[in-house]
Structures are given as C-alpha cells and as structure tokens.
Chain A
Amino acid sequence: MYGLVHRALQCFSQDTYGDVVWNKVVAEAGVQVHEYEAMLFYPDHHLDDVLLALSNHLDKTPAQVSEDVGAYLVTHQRMEAVRRLLRFGGATFEEFVLSLDELHDRVKLALPELDLPELEVEAHSGSSFSVLVKSEHHRFGAVLLGILRAMADDFGTLVMLDLGRSTQGSDDVERATIELFETDFATGRGFGLVAEESGR
C-alpha cells in the first residue's frame, strides 16, 4: 500500500508521542523503516505490525489507537491538507457524511493507486446515518470513527457515534452509526474552497 498511509501512522506517533517512542515502536515492530515516504510503496503488514507495537507501548487497544489516528488526521496542523480535502464533501456535517459515498472515487481521481476502502452511506432518517466500510483492513472502521468525531467538531455539530459490525451478503463488514443531535452546537472551523496562502 502507498506509504501515505504508513506515513500518517508515523506522523501521528511522532507528533503525539515524540521521536523516542516512534523509534522504539519501529524497533519493536521489526519493520526496519524509520521514515516512511508517502509516495513509495511498503508492505501492508507494516501497518499492522507498527500499530500493534504502538498499542502495546501505549497500553491501549489497536482500535483506540486507530481512532486517535483518525482524529489526528483531521485536527493536527501538519495534516491540514487532509481536513481540507474532507471538507470538500459538503457545507454541513450531514452533507459531509452523505459525501463519504464518493470519497473512494474522489481519492481514486487524485491517487489511483491509494485504494482507500469503499464506504456506503445509509440514511435512516434526517439525523441518523450509518456508514459501511468495505475493506479487508479491519482497522479502518476505527480510523473512520476518529475522523467522523473530529469532523463533527470541525463543523460544530453534536453527534453520537458507534462502531459495530454487520453482515452484508456473505461479508462481515464494519458499520459506523451516526446520530445527529444539534447541527449548531458550537462554532465550527472555517473552510474556503481554495486554501489561503500563508503569509497573506
């Protein structure tokens, strides 16, 4: 898989817990890579190995760490590009959730080889949604949950989120459920279609 994903995990670890922890974690995981390059390819199992080593080190479950990674992608200054690309989904949190259907195709347009999981959004009512994650990587549901939580804050929307499993055909897939309570709960962060250049 693209190093972009590996690098996200690395940046999360370094920015949140420091270089010392990161170096210990890669040594523990035995992956022989200290610096992932976003535009190179690395084996998929690196992700699991590093995530497991990091979870052990932090005394958290891999799901908890994955959720933190999701939140980090949206909230950390260094990952502003990710937040901006997600905000293209819509002007409200609800629109954003509904746009997750297209995320896979959108990303494919920009980076055809990234191969993010396909997401399928179901709207149960105006305020209740679920997102099915079609992926072999079982951690992605937790990452999505972290992203959703942080994006709800970004829009200033109050939500309740949960992650479960459900069967779709013969597949066992992850299902994130979203209950919208208040759309104007807090002031969200701004978003312009074109990024303001720094120094202006």
Chain B
Amino acid sequence: MKDDAAPSVPTTAVPFDPGALGALMPMHLHVSPTGHVLSVGPTLAKLRPNETLVGQRFLELFEVKRPMHIHQFGDLLNHGSCLIRTKFRTGHRLGLKGLFVPLAAQHPLLPDRRRSGAARPVLRPNPQTVADPQPAFSGALINLSLGVNVVEAVQRYSLSSADFAPADPTVDMLYLIEAKSVALEESKRLNARLEGARVEAETQAYTDTLTGLQNRRSMDSLLHQLERSGEPFGLMHLDLDYFKQVNDTFGHGAGDYVLKRVSAVLQDETRASDLVARVGGDEFVLVFRGCVNLTILEGIALRIITRLEEPIAYNGHQCRISASIGTTLSSFYQIPAADRMLHDADQALYKSKDRGRARHTVFDPEQRDARS
C-alpha cells in the first residue's frame, strides 16, 4: 500500500473472547477458511432454535443473494469485505443483511459507500498478505442484521431487548414504530370523527345542494323568527305539476335540470329579502316578508305559473311542467303560528290541484273558522 490515504496497518490484533464477540455482535458468524461455522452470536442462534449451527458449512446454511455468483466460500473470501444479503436455506427463510469481513487479510478494507460510484466500488484485501498464524484470526467474520424484517423476527422468535446489542438502535426503532402507530391510530380516529362531523354539518346546512335554494331547516328557522317578531308575511306553498312525468320519461338528469330552472324562475320572481326554500323533491315554500297584499301575491303566483309552463329544453327534449300554488297570509291569524300557516297553505295548494292544477288558491280563513 503506497497510497498515503490507506489505513495504517494495525500493529496489534485484538484477540476476542467468543463471549465478548457475542455481546458486541449478537448476530455474528465466525467462519473458518474452509467455510465451516466456528462460532455464532447468541441472537442469531435463537433464529434456529433446533439446530446447531457451529460445525456446519456456511453456504449450506445460507443462500447468498449478494454478492452474486458465490458458489464456494473461497469466492466470498476472494471478494473481500462486502455487504452481504442472505437467507436461511431451510425453515423460515428469513432475509438478513450485514457485512462480510475476511480476517486473514492483514487489514481488510471496508467497502466505502462514498466511493460506490467510482471505478473500484469494493476494495479487496491484498492476496499476498493472507497468511495469518493464529487460527482465530483466519476465515471471516460476518455480522448480520434483521434489517426491515425485524418486527416479524422479534415476533416469531420471541426476541427481547437483551437480544440486541446496546449500541444497536433496533429496540429504539421498535419503540418508535409502536409510538408512531399509536399516534397514527389516534389521527385516524380523529379523521373519522371529523368526517362524521362534516357529513352532519352538511345535513344541518341551510342550503339545498342541488338548487342552491334554502332548505326546510332554513325555512323553519325564518318562520320561527317571524313568529316571534310578529312581522307580517305572506306564505306560498308551491308544488310542481307533471314533474314526475319528466323524471320518468327523460330521466333524473332532466329532472335535476328542470329543478334548477324552476329555482331560477322562483328567485327571479321574488325579492332578495324573500325566502325561497326547496322543502321536498318538487315542493317549494316562498315567504314574502312584510307583504300581506293579496293582489301583489296573486300577481307573483300567476307570473310564476306562466313562466314555469314555458317548455324547458333538455338534450333535445321539451320538458313541460306547471305548478299549483296555495297561499296564506299572517294577517289571517290573530296569532300567526308557523305550523298552522304551513298546513293552511298546503290545504290551499291541494285545492289548486283539485281544481285542475296550474292554479293559485288563497286560503280562506272563514272556511277554517267554519270547520273548527
């Protein structure tokens, strides 16, 4: 070695007691130059509880995936220090990875990852320095690790923290995996709850998603407000005629399109301060704040019916509908109650239907008084 950057040759080799070697590297294998296992780390031994690994041939126990083309142990020795990927040949074929270091070389050179892109990715020991008189320092040392298979291996072989070297962060990694899963579970739970809340909020919202009109909840809220304030108002209940035929003949797409057109007409014919709510499939309620003038309301109702009777073109079809309307006024009542008024507007609506549809009927307070 003439290169100045080369590591200096160790002047004293460190003799290792097998116990100490096992404590430092609980998953090591010491293999003789002939490829026979001389000693095994205690944790690696636990992975083959019913077998004695010592004395067996390394390549008969393990299939070497990397480096490639290893047919005999000499191939590995010639390869020099290298990353090794391997699997047990029999039983549960757990994958392992680690470092292979020939001991016979005076200074086995470690693979330098920084140079992996260079022309010489792996440094080899100098074959001329192979002779080592001490048998303990011949052959090779392989330090293996469970890598990403650690969770599975810990479970299958009941490993405990004592099976990992204190310098090995595996146990900390297991701790982290577990802590992160707990946090993830909590996050998932939170997401599920938020999703539930979102769905609930949507149903509680005040708008109808199809037409953008207000919904029944919004109508209830306004009527109760008017009930409390005593502000006069007109209440119209509108039900589309022949809408079912449109749906049945041209499909729901046509039905949805018609509903959007209807809502546009209703909004067009009312003031911004009025409320237009879709309260059912083809049912609408209109609340005219501060308006108890029947002439005006009658005019609006007839205009709405006329406009809704204009054919609506959808995909080359002409959708024809109309509307029946029933109206009542808060001034008809001594104490206007929302429920009562909705009921009465509904009665008037059904009178419109009875009279042949496409009509507007004003609720007759005397009829109710006569009945009650």
Chain A residues proximal to chain B, CB less than 8 Å? 4, 37-40, 81, 84-85, 88, 90-91, 106-107, 109-111, 192-196
B161 interface neighbour in A4, A81, A90, A109, Cβ under 8 Å: A90
Q: Which residues of A contact B161 (CB under 8 A)?
A: 88, 90-91, 193
CB pair B176–A194 under 8 Å, yes or no, is: no
- Is B300 among interface residues, defined by CB-CB distance under 8 A? no
Q: List B150-165 residues whose CB lies under 8 Å from chain A.
A: 151, 154-155, 158-162
List the 6 closest pairs (A to B, CB-CB), nearest first.
A110-B179, A38-B186, A88-B175, A81-B182, A194-B154, A194-B155
- Is B171 among interface residues, defined by CB-CB distance under 8 A? yes
CB pair A88–B183 under 8 Å, yes or no, is: no
| From A38, A40, A106, residue with most partner B Cβ within 10 Å | A38
CB pair B176–A37 under 8 Å, yes or no, is: no
Return the CB mask of B221-259 against A: 1 if under 8 Å, else 0: 000000000000000000000000000000000000000
Return the CB mask of B161-194 against A: 1 if under 8 Å, else 0: 1100000000110111011101100110110010
Query: Nearest chain A CB to B47's CB is how many angstroms away?
Result: 15
Return the CB mask of B107-146 against A: 1 if under 8 Å, else 0: 0000000000000000000000000000000000000000
Q: Which residues of A contact B172 (CB under 8 A)?
A: 106, 109
Q: Which residues of A contact B183 (CB under 8 A)?
A: 39, 110-111
7 cross-chain CB contacts under 8 A: A38-B189, A81-B182, A88-B178, A106-B172, A107-B179, A110-B180, A193-B159
Report the separation of the CA atoms of residues A40 and B189 in the bound assembly, to the nearest whole angstrom: 12
CB pair A38–B154 under 8 Å, yes or no, is: no
Report the separation of the CA atoms of residues A91 and B162 in the bound assembly, to the nearest whole angstrom: 8
Q: Which residues of B contact A4 (CB under 8 A)?
A: 186
Report the separation of the CA atoms of residues A111 and B186 in the bound assembly, to the nearest whole angstrom: 12
Least CB separation from A40: chain B residue: B190
Query: Nearest chain A CB to B195's CB is how many angstroms away?
Result: 13
Q: Which residues of A contact B187 (CB under 8 A)?
A: 39
Indicate whether A194 sits within 8 Å of B171 (C-beta atoms), given known contacts A39-B183, A85-B179, A110-B176. no
User: DSSP majority for the B interface?
Assistant: helix
Q: Which residues of B contact A111 (CB under 8 A)?
A: 179, 183
Indicate whether A193 sits within 8 Å of B176 (C-beta atoms), given known contacts A81-B182, A88-B161, A91-B161. no
Q: Which residues of A contact B180 (CB under 8 A)?
A: 110
Report the separation of the CA atoms of residues A175 and B196 in the bound assembly, to the nearest whole angstrom: 45
Query: Nearest chain A CB to B170's CB is how many angstroms away?
Result: 9
Least CB separation from A84: chain B residue: B178
Q: Which residues of A contact B178 (CB under 8 A)?
A: 81, 84-85, 88, 194-195
Least CB separation from A88: chain B residue: B175
Query: Nearest chain B CB to A102's CB is how many angstroms away?
Result: 9
Report the separation of the CA atoms of residues A149 and B187 in the bound assembly, to the nearest whole angstrom: 30
Report the separation of the CA atoms of residues A38 and B183 in the bound assembly, to the nearest whole angstrom: 8
CB pair A194–B151 under 8 Å, yes or no, is: yes
| From A110, A195, A196, residue with most partner B Cβ within 10 Å | A110
CB pair A37–B179 under 8 Å, yes or no, is: no
CB pair A91–B160 under 8 Å, yes or no, is: yes
Report the separation of the CA atoms of residues A84 and B171 in the bound assembly, to the nearest whole angstrom: 13
Report the separation of the CA atoms of residues A106 and B189 in the bound assembly, to the nearest whole angstrom: 24
Report the separation of the CA atoms of residues A81 and B184 in the bound assembly, to the nearest whole angstrom: 12
Query: Nearest chain B CB to A129's CB is how many angstroms away?
Result: 20
Least CB separation from A95: chain B residue: B161
Q: Which residues of A contact B159 (CB under 8 A)?
A: 193
Q: Which residues of B contact A193 (CB under 8 A)?
A: 154, 159-161, 171, 174
Least CB separation from A82: chain B residue: B182
Least CB separation from A195: chain B residue: B178
Q: Which residues of A contact B175 (CB under 8 A)?
A: 85, 88, 106, 110
Query: Nearest chain A CB to B171's CB is how many angstroms away?
Result: 7
Report the separation of the CA atoms of residues A39 and B180 in the bound assembly, to the nearest whole angstrom: 12
Indicate whether A39 sits within 8 Å of B171 (C-beta atoms), given known contacts A193-B161, A194-B151, A196-B155. no
Q: Which residues of B contact A81 (CB under 8 A)?
A: 178, 182
CB pair A39–B151 under 8 Å, yes or no, is: no
Report the separation of the CA atoms of residues A41 and B165 in the bound assembly, to the nearest whole angstrom: 38
Indicate whether A194 sits within 8 Å of B174 (C-beta atoms), given known contacts A91-B161, A110-B179, A110-B180. yes
CB pair A39–B174 under 8 Å, yes or no, is: no
CB pair A88–B190 under 8 Å, yes or no, is: no
Report the separation of the CA atoms of residues A110 and B183 in the bound assembly, to the nearest whole angstrom: 8
Report the separation of the CA atoms of residues A38 and B186 in the bound assembly, to the nearest whole angstrom: 6
Q: Which residues of A contact B158 (CB under 8 A)?
A: 192
